[in-house]
Structure 1
Amino acid sequence: MGGSALIITCKLGFERVVASYVEELDPAAEVEATPQGFAGLVLVRPGNLKAEELARAVKERVPEAEKVFVADAECNASIEEIVRCAVGISAGISREESFAVRTVRRGSHGFTSLDVNVAVGSAVKEATGARVDLENPDKVIFVQILQDKAYLSLVPGSEFYKKMPSSKYPVYKVFRKLVVAHEPYLGPPDASYVMGTRIGREVQVFEVGKLYVTPVGAVDAYSLYSFLRGAFEGQRSRFELQKRSYGREVVKTEVYVQDMYQFARSRLGKPLIIFEPEGEPVSRVAGEVADFIIRKVFKEKEEVAIMVGAREGVPTGLFRFADFVLDVAPGVVISTEYALSSGLIALATILHEKLVEAASSGELGAGEP
């Protein structure tokens, strides 16, 4: 292949689909799906179109293409040659900008991706005077190594989506200070078990600090046992997955059992929010609720209790002791399996922007939970 290259990434199994669409856009292009056997890639040498034109056309018309990179330079896959090419394309980085180096290495080599990042980063910093910013760089030198060849692209930092950019606040930090009181779903043992696994998984997904399983009065012991067994199983399976896949510490939700009335009595005077259809629409009191939670968690260092019903619902007598009674979706009856997650997502939605503002202004500061 000769001429400027495009490297296109896609979901596994879509390589030939993407290749066929690229051939339609530029029939004279040389297109190779899974180059050298590397799945999830399509390597293209444009024919009638310029590389930038073809890349733009692919981005606009081929949704199966995940990422499209124009190789501003290519060389043999040695650190020395990669550094030389990186310095050459770094003319596109001004002294006032920040940059980072990302390397994806496919194949077997006598060096690591980190070795490439360090060598290229040092050389580019010296050549440009720009500062290194690994979190939110203005520009990224992206090095893709396919066995014996390296392809380098200089791209805006925005090309690399991040789950947690600086414009977001990790709401799990607030959820860890929540206490969920959830009425157990009690029915046939197998149904109670299944519902228990879903509730257990939900509280662990959000990393809620504590789950109180709160039956109302005397209940069937075996149905409660089945629900609790499911809750622990759902919590455990999600926690194990989080430990394997998260790049941070994961907190395991604590689980307790207490009668719902006694739970409310033990927390008299403490923050309590109840989710039931009789309450105010969340949208109507969103700002007030967000300010309340942020004040209680960050300023007053208190846990905020969230109460959710199941088949019977939260007894209306408890509404008098709640700071807020909220309705997530007026006119819609939300089933037990979705009630808690709907409430927590609603809270995350109304909290987020205020958390970002408070964090950026320094209001949270050392008060972060």
Structure 2
Amino acid sequence: MENPSLFVTYDMKNKRESKEEVLWVLGKVGEQEPIFLSSRARGIFLIQTSLDPKEVTKKLTQLCKEQPDLFWYTYNYIPIDVWCSSELDEMEENVIKLAEGIKQDETWRITVNKRFYGKYHTIDIIEALAENISWGKVDLENPQKIIQIEIIGKQAAISLLEPSDIFSVSKVKSEI
């Protein structure tokens, strides 16, 4: 089975309703048979989609702008480029490959979220990974590219994203 390509955070007190919401909204953007894979972290769905996950999040953003009342129980939808071990050397290897997508004149940042992982402090992970990127310019507030790392125990989901690739329900609703 393939690795999940979509990382979704949701209201863990309403798992059933959250799953129904995900199924409904993904169906509205063309994904009729998403596969939910197990996650040991509460409040997170790991989803395998047959569609391009970055296109899915863009379509969900538009759907939320048009019909914000469809979104009550889910919070963030994040496309995933690659899964690897949460060992620092393996994350470094994957970040270096993905960072090739950052152009010389672009700004970037690294965002790390950890669950069931205490091996390194977040700032230590960011510093270790950032030292491998010598081009572009760091911009923590308004980057053109985001290296997003979601760690769950021994696994890490890593993506190179533009800010518009991440669908945040609260952000979209606040802009309406």
- For Structure 1 versus Structure 2, the TM-score category normalised by the shorter chain is 0.7 to 0.9
Alignment-derived partner of residue 68 in structure 1: 77
Alignment-derived partner of residue 240 in structure 1: none
User: Which secondary structure state, in structure 1, belongs to the residue aligned with residue 12 of structure 2?
Assistant: coil
Q: 5+ residue gaps in structure 1?
A: 162-369
RCO (CA 8 Å, sep 6+): is it higher in 1 or 2? 2
CA deviations on 1:10-36 (whole Å, 9 max, x unpaired) are 233244323223334234321147x20
2:143, 2:163 within 8 Å by CA — same for their partners in 1? Answer: yes
> Within the alignment, does 1:12 sit opposite 2:43 as a pair?
no
User: Which secondary structure state, in structure 1, belongs to the residue aligned with residue 94 of structure 2?
Assistant: helix
2:11, 2:18 within 8 Å by CA — same for their partners in 1? Answer: no
Q: Which amino acid aligns with 2:149?
A: V
Give 1:92 shift. Answer: 2.1
User: Which secondary structure state, in structure 2, belongs to the residue aligned with residue 13 of structure 1?
Assistant: helix
Q: Which amino acid aligns with 2:98?
A: I
| Identical amino acids, percent of aligned pairs | 21
Q: Which amino acid aligns with 1:83?
A: E
Alignment-derived partner of residue 39 in structure 1: 42
2:6, 2:53 within 8 Å by CA — same for their partners in 1? Answer: yes
Taking a change above 3 Å as real, the CA distance of residues 6 and 151 of structure 1, as seen in their structure-2 partners, is same
Aligned residues: 155
| CA distance in structure 2 between the aligned counterparts of 1:42 and 1:58, rounded to whole angstroms | 16
1:19, 1:31 within 8 Å by CA — same for their partners in 2? Answer: no
Alignment-derived partner of residue 147 in structure 1: 153
| CA distance in structure 1 between the aligned counterparts of 2:125 and 2:118, rounded to whole angstroms | 11
1:74, 1:149 within 8 Å by CA — same for their partners in 2? Answer: yes
1:99, 1:130 within 8 Å by CA — same for their partners in 2? Answer: yes
Give 1:57 shift. Answer: 4.4
Taking a change above 3 Å as real, the CA distance of residues 31 and 160 of structure 1, as seen in their structure-2 partners, is closer
- Please give the root-mean-square deviation of Cα atoms over the aligned residues, in Å: 2.5
Give 1:106 shift. Answer: 0.4
1:261-280 to 2 correspondences below 5 Å:
none
Alignment-derived partner of residue 54 in structure 2: 52
Give 1:3 shift. Answer: 4.3
Q: Which amino acid aligns with 1:30?
A: I
> Within the alignment, does 1:28 sit opposite 2:33 as a pair?
yes
1:100, 1:132 within 8 Å by CA — same for their partners in 2? Answer: yes
Alignment-derived partner of residue 174 in structure 2: none
Taking a change above 3 Å as real, the CA distance of residues 115 and 66 of structure 1, as seen in their structure-2 partners, is same
2:77, 2:167 within 8 Å by CA — same for their partners in 1? Answer: no
* TM superposition score normalised by structure 2: 0.75
User: Which secondary structure state, in structure 2, belongs to the residue aligned with residue 134 of structure 1?
Assistant: coil
Taking a change above 3 Å as real, the CA distance of residues 16 and 85 of structure 1, as seen in their structure-2 partners, is farther
Give 1:81 shift. Answer: 0.9
2:109, 2:140 within 8 Å by CA — same for their partners in 1? Answer: yes
| CA distance in structure 2 between the aligned counterparts of 1:72 and 1:100, rounded to whole angstroms | 16
Give 1:54 shift. Answer: 3.5
* Structure with higher strand content: 2
| CA distance in structure 1 between the aligned counterparts of 2:46 and 2:104, rounded to whole angstroms | 33
CA deviations on 1:245-278 (whole Å, 9 max, x unpaired) are xxxxxxxxxxxxxxxxxxxxxxxxxxxxxxxxxx
1:55, 1:69 within 8 Å by CA — same for their partners in 2? Answer: yes
Q: Which amino acid aligns with 1:121?
A: A
Q: Which amino acid aligns with 1:8?
A: V
Give 1:70 shift. Answer: 0.7
1:182-261 to 2 correspondences below 5 Å:
none
Q: Which amino acid aligns with 1:22?
A: V
* Structure with higher helix content: 1
Quick check: which has more Rg, 1 or 2? Answer: 1
1:102, 1:140 within 8 Å by CA — same for their partners in 2? Answer: yes
